[in-house]
Amino acid sequence: MAETIVNLVLGKLADVLVSEVLHLYSVNDQVEKVSRELKRIQAFLKDADRKPIKDERQIHWVKEVRDIAHSIEDVIDTFLMKIPQNPQKSCLCAAIKNMLRNPKNLSAVHNLVNEINQILEKMREIEESRVRYGINNLREGMTGDIKLPIRPTVLPDIDPDIVGFKADQDRVVKELLVETTKRRSVVSICGTGGLGKTTLAQKVYNCDDVVKQFKVRIWVAISDKFKVIDVSRKIAQQLKLGDQPNEIEVILAEIYKKLGDQPNETEVILAEIYKSLGGKKYLIVLDDVWTTDLWTQISAAFPDKNNGSRVLMTTRIADVPKGMDPNSEPYMLKCLTKELSRELLLKIIFSNHDPNKISIDDLSDVLDQFVHMCGGLPLALVVLGGLLSKKPRTYAAWSSMSRTMRWHDVEGINLHEIIGTSYEHLSFAQKSCFMYFAAFPEDYTIDATSLLRMWIAEGFIPQEDNRTLEETAESFLEDLIQRSMVQVDSRSYVGSIKTLRIHDLLRDLALQKAKEENFLLVYTNPDDKMSLSRARRVAIHNLDCDQLLMSPNLRTLLCFYKGSIPNCSKQRLLKVVSIREKEENIIELGMFMGLTQLRYLSLAGRVSDNYDQEFFEKVIGRMKFLQTFEVRWLKTIGGNYFEFPRSAWNIKTLRHVYDTYLELPASTKLTNLKIIGEVMPTQSWEIELPHIPNLRSLQLYARSSTSNLVVPFLSTLEHLTNLDIIHDDSVLDILDMRGFLFYNHLQSLSLELSYPSTTKLTQMLHEDMLPCHLIDLKIEDYKFQQDIMPVLEKLRCLKVLILHKAFESRKTTCSSRGFSQLEVLELYSLSMEEWEIEEGAMPILKKLHIYRCDKLGVPQGLQYLTNLQNLEWGYVDDSKADFVCNLCPHVPSFDLNSYFTLPI
């Protein structure tokens, strides 16, 4: 991880090197020397980052290098803060004028030279110490590839019913034995380290039904650093191509003698495997696969003879099965429930006792603490159970262990190394992203959008060609999810991640790494004040700490508590400030006056009555580098709400803005802005429309007085993917979107009349008027006189449809080929009386909600919705409810004859 900060600093050095200000005072030479020295030690740090270091000399040396890199970052950021930055005037002439105008800049450059010279001296000292104390390159003296920590092959031989694997085993066996799939196919088990993938695979491998079905069964343990020749030899040995390992060489020698030369050994062995497997129904288990490279190289050795042969694979990375077989859907192994965790733990602790005779009433509470500590991870439960089995069965012994135990070297097993192997495979930037999860409280629901924006503000996300920073950040997050390092809590129907959670043990791993690297301090204990004074990033949990003294070089402050916010007015290098709570927070706006380097600011709480709107404008206007500005809830203690500061629209770096009822000035020109919340058009737009061409997401509130400006404004947006329009003008001509530049990009659309007119909408909705790639559509209060279902059902990508007072047709029909991708349908307050669903319509519909459709009878063809999983019908009589239940016995979740409130 030490190389992460070095990479970040090298990037900043490159930026500084191109500054004309440095050319004027010949500072470039010193900066280049620092850059060269950092590059020289990068090779060492790469190895230090990939291999756990045991040598105390190496640990201390790496720490010194990291501290030096932090010092360089501080010097550069302090210098850039003192030299006014004007992105519009980067020419040499402007720099000279700027220097002459403000003599303080001369002093800043002079200080920069002195501080860089001091850093160079320190770098020479630590480089000399590395040589003096024999701290050699980590690869010296090593052969082959670096080996990552080896995990246990399987969990102890526990009855799968107790472990909780029986249902999982039955599912996987069913997939292996399915008779409708004759071709060779890949079945995969996916999940994080320690979850029991190998144990489950072994149970399946030895299952009687599997043994009977497959004439040939082969098990090969793969690793992240595999060699195809070794894998090929293991398979050949199990096929008895040679009863002893050296017999492979005998076979090869005979082949070489016939051919007259020596072909590629791997190819010869794979050819022999193919010949041996010909005509046989086989099962190949590839345990712990990390990439598709192995399959690319050995798949030709496995014949595809339409006889039901299978490849069973375990992996931590959900993308790997798709690369091996496009039709493969990985079986995602989940953590054990609290009940099953408790059963497994008891089984391990009392392995020699009859479970029916075990009494633990006095230990029940502390046992629950241990269960929570393990987070449903079977490996953790087994390791802990083995340790507890050797302890006295007393409350005093167990509670003492609960208070003091850490997952380091428990019974010779470092659980963090086992579950954290995936961490070693991350890029340096991704490691920073993963450690950031340590900032969030345990069991916290993490907002994915805010997380990605903080990553961008921190500088973790590299700029890639043809990709926005947001797209690259999302790909980083998806990769962490594919590696089972974080869990998706919810997704939008468009497919984007909404909320996340992280397993407690993986969060512990992130905390451990963050502490080792001085990356982040989670402040939960008042005794940590000394550490707080040195921390570069701080997350405060549940402590009222307005008097805290923090490091002057603090970069990040995240507050997850209710109370007074610590004064950070002297932390001038702060980039990220997030205050998550609302009414309970007390915020002193004055402390933000000097925080001109902020990239991310999220505010929620109450402000002292000493500050007014004018002061708020001044504070925000000074933040020239702000990228994300969120005002969730902000008012004075006296009860006066703050308006969104108009000065923010002069910040050219803005990428994401959120507040309610925003009024964009006509002169606004923000080419970086991607997302904006709840905009209200103003009369000033008649002179000049705002220029925000790269906007992706927009909520628009239009009044009758400004409805004529909506279409011209939307016509300037090309990249829009999410659009929410609320207006009070029933004649607003926005239904036909074919002329908009974003027509082929829009995925989510919401159309709503805020003050519905009593006049029925006579305008007709025709095919192709709405964007063809819509995934999510909501129409509210439009009251079309036509039946709009025949039009909407032709939107071939539509997954979610919400209709609220959308049309007044008495009858509607969903045709046999309509709504081919629809998964969710919600109908509110519609006046229709008859609804016909033809066979074949909505073939994958999973969720159907019907609210306040009082005249609607039971839909004809409801029974054709065979994939329906959830049906809610509000306020229906008992006879209708009984009829629906009898008509759809296949639906697992009913909620009928209930009262439902309309969605917000």
Encoding tokens for residue 538?
């701080």
Mean pLDDT (whole number) for 647-676: 91
Q: Please state which CATH class domain 426-517 belongs to.
A: mainly alpha
| Residue 461 near residue 667, CB atoms below 8 Å | no
Confidence of residue 285 (pLDDT cuts 50, 70, 90): very high
Q: Which carries the bigger pLDDT value, residue 52 or residue 279?
A: 279
Instruction: Report, as an integer, the average pLDDT of 7-11.
Output: 58
Domain 2-132 falls in which CATH fold? Answer: 1.20.5
Q: What is the full DSSP assignment across 650-696?
A: G-TT--EEE-SSB---TT-B-TT--EEEEE---GGGGT---B-TT--
Query: 442 and 451 in contact (C-beta within 8 Å)?
Result: no
Contact 826, 802 (CB under 8 A): yes
Tell me how far apart the alpha carbons of residues 701 and 681 are, in angstroms, rounded to a whole number. 7
pLDDT of residue 536: 86
Mean pLDDT of 757-776: 79
Which residue ranges make up each domain of the chain?
2-132, 165-332, 338-417, 426-517, 520-659, 760-904
Q: Over the Cα atoms of the chain, what is R_g?
A: 32
- pLDDT at site 89: 42
**How far apart, in whole angstroms, are the C-alpha atoms of residue 643 and residue 648?**
11
| Dist. CA 242–CA 236, nearest whole Å | 7
User: What's 437's DSSP letter?
Assistant: G
More confident residue, 18 or 276: 276
Q: What's the whole-number mean pLDDT along residues 416-440?
A: 81
pLDDT band at 377 (very low <50, low <70, confident <90, very high): confident
Compute the distance between CA of residue 792 and CA of residue 777 in angstroms, rounded to an integer: 9
Q: What percent of the chain has pLDDT over 90?
A: 23
Q: What is the mean pLDDT of residues 564-588?
A: 80
376: left (phi over 0), alpha (psi -120 to 50) or beta: left
Q: Are 813 and 787 in contact (CB under 8 A)?
A: yes
SS (H, E, C) 260-311: CCCCCHHHHHHHHHHHHHCCCCEEEEEEEECCCHHHHHHHHHCCCCCCCCEE
pLDDT at 714: 93
pLDDT average, residue stretch 388-412: 70
Rounded to whole angstroms, how far apart are CA atoms 9 and 12?
Answer: 5
- CA distances 755 to 59, 221, 362, 474, Å, are 67, 65, 63, 38
**Helix, strand, coil percentages for the chain (3-state, nearest 5):** 40, 15, 45
Burial 805-842 (b: 16+ CB within 10 A, else e): bbbbbeebbbeeebbbebbbbbbbebebeebebeeebb
**What are residue 114's phi and psi, to 5 degrees?**
-60, -45
Burial (CB < 10 A; 0-12, 13-18, 19+), residue 490, is: exposed
Judge whether residue 663 has pLDDT over 80.
yes
**pLDDT by residue (tens digit) across 678-718?**
898 988 898 899 999 999 999 998 888 888 888 999 999 99
Residue 412 scores a pLDDT above 60: no
Q: What is the pLDDT of residue 55?
A: 63
What CATH number does the domain located at 165-332 have? 3.40.50.300
- What would you measure as the largest C-alpha separation in the chain, in angstroms? 96
Closest to 893 (Cα-Cα) out of 868, 858, 865 = 868
Q: What is the pLDDT of residues 264-273, one digit of tens each?
A: 778 888 888 8
Buried b (16+ CB within 10 A) or exposed e, 554-585: bbbbbbbbebbbbebeebbbbbbbbbbbeeeb
* Cβ–Cβ < 8 Å for 28, 36: no
How do residues 489-502 score in pLDDT, each as one tens digit? 888 877 789 999 88
CA distances from 550 to 66, 78, 536, 599 (A): 20, 17, 9, 19
Of 302, 276, 281, nearest in space to 214 by CA: 281
Contact 654, 623 (CB under 8 A): no
pLDDT (average), residues 341-347: 85
Q: How many residues are there in the chain?
A: 904
Kindly indicate the confidence band of residue 215, based on its pLDDT and cuts at 50, 70 and 90: confident
- Average of per-residue pLDDT values in the chain: 78
Q: What is the pLDDT of residue 874?
A: 77
pTM over 0.75: no
Provide, rounded to the nearest whole percent, the portion of the chain with pLDDT above 70: 73
Overall average pLDDT of the 370-389 stretch: 78
Give the pLDDT score at 199: 83
CATH fit for domain 520-659, picks 3.30.300.30, 3.40.50.300, 3.30.70.20, 3.80.10.10: 3.80.10.10
pLDDT tops 60 at residue 898: no
